[in-house]
Amino acid sequence: MAELDSTSSLARFLDGEFCEAKSEIRREISRCALFQSNSYDLTLDQNRDLTAERLSHVLGLPLIKKQLKDQVKEGQRGFLTKSLGIAELVCAADMATGVKLGVVCGLYGGAINNLGSGEQKTKWYLPVSELEFTGMFAMTERGHGSNVRGILTEARYEPSMQEFVIHTPCEDAQKMYIGNAMKGQYAAVFAQLSVNGEAQGPHCFVVPVRDPHGVLHPGVTVIDMKHKEGLHGVDNGILIFDNVRIPRENLLSKFGNVSADGLYSSPIQSKSSRFNAMLAALTPTRLGLTVQAMAAMKLGLIIAVRYSHSRRQFGPKDQDEVKIIEHQTQYLRLMPHLAAVLALTFTTRYAAGLIDAALYRGEDLQSSRFLQALVAGLKAYSTWENVACLQECRECTGGMGFMMENRIPALKCDSDVFVTFEGDNVVMLQVVVRELMTQYAKQLLSSPVSGLIRTWTSSASDSLRTSFLGITVDKVGDLRFLLKALSYRERVLQRSLVARLHSKVEKNKDEFFGAWNSCLHHVTGLALAHIHRVTLEQFALAIEECQVKDDHALLSKFCLLHGTSLVYQERAWYLEHKYLTPATSRKIRTQLLDLCKSVKDEALKVVSDFNIPACCIQAPIAGVSNPRAEWAFYSQPEAPAVQKTLSKL
Amino acid sequence: MAELDSTSSLARFLDGEFCEAKSEIRREISRCALFQSNSYDLTLDQNRDLTAERLSHVLGLPLIKKQLKDQVKEGQRGFLTKSLGIAELVCAADMATGVKLGVVCGLYGGAINNLGSGEQKTKWYLPVSELEFTGMFAMTERGHGSNVRGILTEARYEPSMQEFVIHTPCEDAQKMYIGNAMKGQYAAVFAQLSVNGEAQGPHCFVVPVRDPHGVLHPGVTVIDMKHKEGLHGVDNGILIFDNVRIPRENLLSKFGNVSADGLYSSPIQSKSSRFNAMLAALTPTRLGLTVQAMAAMKLGLIIAVRYSHSRRQFGPKDQDEVKIIEHQTQYLRLMPHLAAVLALTFTTRYAAGLIDAALYRGEDLQSSRFLQALVAGLKAYSTWENVACLQECRECTGGMGFMMENRIPALKCDSDVFVTFEGDNVVMLQVVVRELMTQYAKQLLSSPVSGLIRTWTSSASDSLRTSFLGITVDKVGDLRFLLKALSYRERVLQRSLVARLHSKVEKNKDEFFGAWNSCLHHVTGLALAHIHRVTLEQFALAIEECQVKDDHALLSKFCLLHGTSLVYQERAWYLEHKYLTPATSRKIRTQLLDLCKSVKDEALKVVSDFNIPACCIQAPIAGVSNPRAEWAFYSQPEAPAVQKTLSKL
């Protein structure tokens, strides 16, 4: 294909596996009339209708149709990696469409395919690929968002009718923020199952919400939540069930089933483990949030970096004004985010690869505590990083960045919700730490707290001390120094957290919730330290696979910048722990400034190699003309001279 | 009045001077139908029309009519303080109305009243108080936003006609982002004056844009910039002048005038000083940005703090879930912002008082470099603080905070522009440092750089060393310790900046722009250090005036929190400079956590004492019912038991 031939080696490397599939999606989006303009000036209803139309178009694309059919099968090699690649591009084209695709295929589809039987998949998911209906995912309740174990919706089995009765007992049990609530036909509803008066914990049920003509199922009430900060094309609503009757077959039965005569059975005995298994089965979907955030960050950076290389302001006396990218503050604000999105690209690829490999081998995701921690941590880190990145992009583009025509405002508003939805970030960070602790504890077949103290305290101190002594000031420019520093921080925070919890719970006999809560700042710090370390490691490992010399050199600089930026952020901690001396800490700052300066021109090549179609970028200040806002147009900047040699590969 | 009687002593203290005027505005807003609901679901045109109607209503209020008439007179005691008090409440009612009020009275009005003659004020501003017309402020150009000296619009004097010809010579000279551009009648236009072929630098001219029927003045083109991230009610546009002829009398003549026969005269000889004087005369308007940001922060905090005291999630096993404010991360995210908005309240009051006193005495604002620095620094610090604060408020209210009904999203989108408009924050911080440097240099009648080095380096070291040695670990809980620390940081950064610039410019003979740019990170750090120090000092000084014991105690805790939070943010720097030991640094962190926890319940009283009418708060999650979103309603939380005693004053 012509497009592929003109793609640089770096663009191909950043695409990774399934680059042909991605190219096909790029071509489809570029030629589809529905994706040629932004939609911020539509009414809420028009916006939702357009999004529904865009979603139908996407679901109808041959490549995606095939992907949906593959989703029903088990053991598809690289299924998640491919799905995420597609999802990122759909999000880049339109975030609302990407999020609705995530609701229908990732969440609803994830529930049916991971919690249901083969027959159930055929019945409730395969028709989605034929555009027969769409679904929604009803887990969150008004009173219980992030604390899903506490949901109150009831599912009582009635043996006489062989039916479940789904019921909303109180206001706090209303299913809230449900995406596709105003348009979808079926909902995967989480509810507390009771059989013969015995509580079996949360299970997932397929509940019909409305028929193809839009008529609501008896007993179902839907309230439109209407206007949000962003994602105007996503119809969020509230579902209320008034003793809604559904057939026995509508319980997704992989982790628990009820026989016709009302006998409950499950492959997992403990109610708590059973629910954990269900949640673990939904892990792959969570990685979708990270690629949504990455799509937004990449777009923001393309726009901000290009404009910074076009717009001029201030300069030496009696000379031309300089490009704003030349201002120290400007490159210092943008470059670390560019490094972070590269790190996220490789870390997400790594996580998806692990999940794909596990699923291909038919393994249970729940047992991989490390993987659960990684995915939860990536969700929190990437979505916060996205908020910070887009805010810098908005500010670095000045008044132009506040105009809707220039895309950044909508990206900000659309993606702002990612930090709290699908698991609030603060809760996600707690998941990271709990998973890590459980993993260690399991290895010891002991209680989390006391077991951990023994291993962590004994293992950590010696090797850490050694690594500390091995450091000389000259080495801060060495990636190994940065990797060691991140690893040290993670391990010290782990060790000290366990010691603190141990002291509170086992010595002072504090109640666990209170003890944990009093360490929450510590917990979130540890979780971020963990994910920071993994992103730098994965960035470094990915570069080793890069065969093209110039690309390797360029990525290495960004990798060093990412590590430098992460250590710089936490330099207070390193100074407190005497891991950095004051002189070394200052050296880190100088290194950050120097690296940001040294990559500011190459940044143009990197954003270009994100290979996002112009119809997704939209912004006139990034060189995409728009007759509605001629005043905003700046020609796409040419790469500065030095850079040109590098990009000629 | 009943309202006044029921107001607590703290609310009265926070109101300060002109509390009767503020109460009157509160009553007017509360009973005006135009301010009873939010307007996010209107079209752009409806939104603009509603805002225009709101603005007319506000301008027509007796109290504001009188204030506008006072603005024309000179030497009104406390004029700015009173204006800012009014402006903050109008912004709280509707940010777009507040910003348009700022455009018409602060910017257009500021230009006419500060740069014009008595006759000009009567002609072009007094009619605004009679609702005869409104104005706009046309300084920013496409190519020159923050670098106003570089504007390109031309104003050529034609003696034959006794007219100025206002002309836009190129695309980059178009007046951009002009507020009220689609509705206003007159514009205060900044253009490069040339008389008899001689350039006299930028001056301000009153240019008629359209007549009362909306017909554009000959040669004027207006382009609608339409959709923005927020402030939908503000009509921003582009003004283009094609040899527009205006009478000689339309040059605002305070700092420069042209006689009928074409002779230029000015009380200030240097072109550069002349323009500085004009900009300085506009300083009071800049303080308006800070109160706009404060209005947004207060609303965000009212909503987030109340919801955090209502909503429950997670908790000890087999017990009720706890209020989310009890989570350590939740109070740690919100309380420092509450402390900061209190500090800003007192610092803004201080700055406004200084300006009012100077103007009352008929002094020239330009000569007070410290005041220029303070206002520029407050603009940058308060607007960034607002962005950070509202983001935390949004995240701390979860999905509810993403719903338009709950007010926070619109506040975020409306106030996001403050960080770049009316002077980009990064430019503002450079203004702070340049003003401070010029102040010192002026005292020495010497060049900025070399003069400064001599004073700063000699004065700083001794006293700083002494203060350093006087510190013991036990004192971090003492406000004086924190004040000293902030002061130390400011002075060391000053000294080292001057040394670096000296070395670059005088020793290495680097070009000044390049030298300055290579220190930009340092410059912005110094500017923030300066403003941080001033806010803590002013907070501490204001508390000394508080007569009510319980209020004094409460404010003292928040003041200590503000100082702790500022030192905590920069603890890496203090560790690098060995001003904090690792142990002291850890102690600061513990103190931050403890203080945030200790004020979390009193926070309910503080946000209540902001005394913002319910129709401005709007959010159902903060206890303001809304039939359109019954699902979002949470009753206003009662103060926890301990707190009740305190609030009973």
pLDDT, tens only, B479-499: 999 999 999 999 999 999 999
User: What stretches of B142-231 adopt beta strand conformation (E)?
Assistant: 154-158, 163-167, 175-179, 186-195, 198-208, 220-224
- Which range, of A170-174, A208-212, B371-375, B473-477, averages the lowest pLDDT? B473-477
Tokens describing residue B596: 């945030």
Mean per-residue pLDDT, A539-546: 97
Average pLDDT value for residue range B278-306: 95
pLDDT at res. B466: 39
CB count in 10 Å sphere of residue A589? 17
pLDDT, chain B, mean? 92
Q: How many CB atoms lie within 10 A of CB B243?
A: 12
Contact across the interface for B238 and A387, Cβ inside 8 Å? no
Are A582 and B577 an interchain contact pair (Cβ–Cβ within 8 Å)?
yes
For residue B384, pLDDT over 60 is answered with yes
Kindly report which listed range (A361-365, A431-435, A639-643) carries the lowest average pLDDT score: A639-643
Instruction: Measure the CA–CA gap between B1 and B357, rounded to whole angstroms.
Output: 30
- Does the pLDDT of residue A274 top 80, yes or no? yes
Q: Which of A166-180, A361-375, A401-415, B213-227 is predicted with the least confidence, judged by mean pLDDT?
A: A361-375
CB contact under 8 A, B585 and A572: yes
pLDDT at B1 over 50: no
Reply yes or no on whether the pLDDT at A465 is more than 60.
no
Residue B260 CB neighbour total at 10 angstroms: 8
- Contact predicate A188/A111, CB 8 Å: yes
Between A387 and A645, whose confidence is greater? A387
* For residues A379-399, average pLDDT: 98
Residue B503 has pLDDT above 80, yes or no: yes
- How far away is chain A from the Cα of B571, in angstroms, using its nearest Cα? 6
- Tell me how close the Cα of B118 comes to any Cα of chain A, in angstroms: 34
The mean per-residue pLDDT over the stretch A171-192 comes to 97
Q: Could you tell me the pLDDT band of residue B456, with boundaries at 50, 70 and 90?
A: very low
Query: What is the C-alpha to C-alpha distance for residues B488 and B461, in angstroms, rounded to an integer?
Result: 10
The owner of tokens 């609803």 is: A108
Contact across the interface for B228 and A402, Cβ inside 8 Å: yes
Indicate the pLDDT class of residue B555, thresholds 50, 70 and 90.
very high
Q: Would you say residue B454 has pLDDT above 70?
A: no
- Identify the band that residue B460 occupies on the pLDDT scale cut at 50, 70 and 90: very low
Question: Is B148 part of the contact surface with chain A (CB cutoff 8 Å)?
Answer: no
* Contact yes or no for B622/B614 (Cβ under 8 A): no
Q: Is the pLDDT of residue A141 over 50?
A: yes
Confidence of residue A462 (pLDDT cuts 50, 70, 90): very low
Residue B132 CB: number of other CB atoms within 10 A?
A: 10
Mean pLDDT over A147-170 rounds to: 95
Shortest alpha-carbon distance between residue A596 and chain B (Å): 12
Rounded mean pLDDT of B569-579?
Answer: 97
Find out whether A530 and A432 touch, Cβ atoms under 8 Å.
yes
Mutate to test the interface with A, among B328, B497, B509 (most CBs of A within 10 A): B328
Between B76 and B413, residue with greater pLDDT: B413
| Whether pLDDT at B646 is above 70 | no
Is the pLDDT confidence value at B459 over 50? Answer: no
Provide, as residue numbers in chain B, all residues whose Cβ is less than 8 Å from the Cβ of A417. 399, 402
Residues of B in contact with A575 (CB under 8 A): 572, 575-576, 582, 585
A577 in B contact zone (CB under 8 Å): yes
pTM of structure = 0.95
CB contact under 8 A, A229 and B426: no
At a CB cut-off of 8 Å and minimum separation 6, what does B421 contact?
A399, A402, B177
- In this structure, how many other beta carbons lie within 10 angstroms of the beta carbon of residue A43? 11
User: d(Cα A131, Cα A140) in Å, to the nearest integer?
Assistant: 26
Is-contact B99 B93, C-beta < 8 A?
no
Smallest CA–CA distance, residue A172 to chain B, in Å, is 10
The rounded mean pLDDT for chain A is: 92
Using a pLDDT cut of 90, give the percent of chain B over it.
Answer: 83
Determine which of B311, B429, B517 to mutate to test the interface with A (most A C-beta atoms within 10 Å): B517
Question: Minimal Cα–Cα distance from A3 to chain B, Å?
Answer: 34
Answer yes or no: do A145 and B387 touch at CB < 8 A.
Answer: no
Query: Is A520 close to B329, i.e. CB distance below 8 A?
Result: yes
More confident residue, A6 or A521: A521
Instruction: Using the predicted structure, report yes or no on whether residue A157 has a pLDDT greater than 80.
Output: yes
Residues β-bridged to residue A190: A204
Confidence band, pLDDT 50/70/90 cuts, at residue A593 = very high
The total of other beta-carbon atoms located within 10 Å of residue A580's CB is: 26
Inter-chain CB proximity A409 and B413 less than 8 Å: yes
Cβ A417–B395 below 8 Å, yes or no?
no
Per-residue pLDDT for A497 more than 90? yes
Identify the helix (H) or strand (E) that includes residue A187: strand A186-195
Q: What is the dihedral of CA A619, A623, A627, A631, to 10 degrees?
A: 90
* B329 min Cα distance to partner chain A (Å): 6
| Greatest mean pLDDT range, A279-283, B72-76, B562-566 | B562-566
Tell me which residue has tokens 């490992």.
A541
Residue A147 has pLDDT above 80, yes or no: yes
Size of interface A-B (CB pairs under 8 A): 213
A327 vs B: CB within 8 A: yes
Confidence band, pLDDT 50/70/90 cuts, at residue B507: confident
Q: What whole-number percentage of chain A has pLDDT above 90?
A: 83
Nearest to A190 by CA among A159, A129, A223, A147: A147
Average pLDDT over residues A175-182: 98
**Per-residue pLDDT band at B145 (split at 50, 70, 90):** confident
Confidence at A449, pLDDT banded by 50, 70, 90: low
Q: Is the pLDDT of residue A441 over 90?
A: no
**Per-residue pLDDT tens for A95-109?**
999 999 999 999 999
| Alpha helices, DSSP H, located in A282-416 | 283-308, 328-360, 369-396, 408-415
Cβ–Cβ contacts within 10 Å for residue A446, how many? 14
| Cα angle B564-B569-B575, degrees, rounded to a multiple of 5 | 95
Chain A residue numbers with beta carbons less than 8 Å from the beta carbon of B328 are 517-521
Q: Is the pLDDT of residue B416 over 70?
A: yes
Is the CB of residue A453 less than 8 Å away from at least one CB of chain B?
no
Predicted ipTM beyond 0.90 = yes
Q: Which of A469-478, B362-371, B590-599 has the lowest mean pLDDT?
A: A469-478
Query: Which one from B422, B435, B537, B570 is the annotated catalytic residue?
Result: B422
More confident residue, A455 or A338: A338
Element (H, E) at A84: helix A79-93
Q: In chain B, what residues touch A238 (CB-CB under 8 Å)?
A: 631
* Distance (Å, whole) CA A602 – CA A599: 5
pLDDT band at B642 (very low <50, low <70, confident <90, very high): low
The values of phi and psi at residue B32, to 5°, are -90, 125
Q: Is pLDDT at B410 greater than 60 in this prediction?
A: yes
How many whole angstroms separate alpha carbon B34 and alpha carbon B55? 10
Nearest to B585 among A419, A424, A576 (CB): A576
Q: Say which residue the tokens 């008529």 belong to.
A: A215
A42 touches chain B (CB under 8 A): no
Compute the average pLDDT of residues A409-433.
Answer: 96
Structure tokens at A169: 């007992």
Cβ contact A402–B229 (<8 Å): yes
Q: Of A24, A141, A422, A537, which residue is the catalytic one?
A: A422
Return the exposure string of B445-454: e unless at least 16 CB atoms fall within 10 Å of the residue's CB, then b.
eeebbebbbe
| Number of alpha carbons in the 13 Å side-chain half-sphere of residue B508 | 12
Looking at the partner chain, which of A321, A420, A628 has a beta carbon nearest the beta carbon of B399?
A420
Which of the four pLDDT bands, split at 50, 70 and 90, describes residue B644? very low
Q: Model confidence at B442, in pLDDT bands (50, 70, 90)?
A: low
Report the residue of A329, A387, A476 to disrupt the B interface, i.e. the one with the largest count of B CBs within 10 Å.
A329
d(CA A231, CA A417): 9
Q: Which two tokens stand for residue B93?
A: 């009612």
Counts for chain A of helices (H) and strands (E), in that order: 26, 11
Mean pLDDT, range B141-151, rounded to an integer = 88
Contact A145 B332 (CB under 8 A): no
A422 catalytic? Reply is yes
Nearest to B399 among A314, A421, A582 (CB): A421
Which B residues, 515 through 574, put their C-beta within 8 Å of a C-beta on chain A? 517-521, 524, 571-572
Query: Model confidence at B441, in pLDDT bands (50, 70, 90)?
Result: low
Which of B148, B172, B229 would you mutate first to test chain A, the one with the most A CBs within 10 A? B229
Q: Is A592 on the interface with B (CB under 8 A)?
A: no
Q: In chain A, whose CA is at the least distance from the CA of B632?
A: A142
pLDDT at A474: 57
- Of the given ranges (A198-212, A360-374, A476-490, B555-569), which has the lowest mean pLDDT? A360-374
Per the CB < 8 A criterion, the answer to whether A123 and A156 are in contact is no
Q: How far is B457 from chain A (nearest CA, A)?
A: 21
Distances in whole angstroms, Cα of residue B247 to Cα of each of B159, B237, B251, B252? 11, 24, 8, 11
pLDDT reading at A1 higher than 80:
no
Q: Which two tokens stand for residue A637?
A: 């900047």
Give the pLDDT mean for A471-476.
62
Chain A contact set for B416 (CB, 8 A): 394, 402, 409, 412
Q: Is residue A446 pLDDT above 90, yes or no?
A: no
DSSP conformational letter for B250: G
Nearest chain B residue to A147, by CA: B314
**Contact of A306 with A621, CB cutoff 8 Å:** yes
Residue of A nearest to B237 (CA): A631
Contact B578 A577 (CB under 8 A): no
A51 annotated as belonging to a binding site for a ligand:
no
Q: Out of A461-475, A616-630, B94-108, pick the least confident.
A: A461-475
Tell me if A575 and B578 make a contact (CB, 8 A cut-off): no
* Closest-approach residue (CA) in chain B for A424: B398
Q: Which two tokens stand for residue B624?
A: 């303001």
The pLDDT tens digits of the residues spanning A18-43 come to 999 999 999 999 999 999 988 888 99
CB of B517 closer than 8 Å to CB of B426: no
Q: Which residues of A touch B401 (CB under 8 A)?
A: 420
Alpha-carbon distance A593 to nearest alpha carbon in chain B (angstroms)? 9
The answer on pLDDT for B474 being more than 60 is no
CB within 8 Å: A521 and B576: no
pLDDT-based confidence at residue B437 (cuts at 50, 70, 90) = confident
- Taking the C-alpha atoms of residue A431 and residue B49, their distance in angstroms, rounded to an integer, is 49
Nearest to B402 among A226, A322, A417 (CB): A417
Q: Which helix (H) or strand (E) holds A246?
A: strand A244-247
Q: Do A582 and B571 lie within an 8 Å CB cutoff? A: no
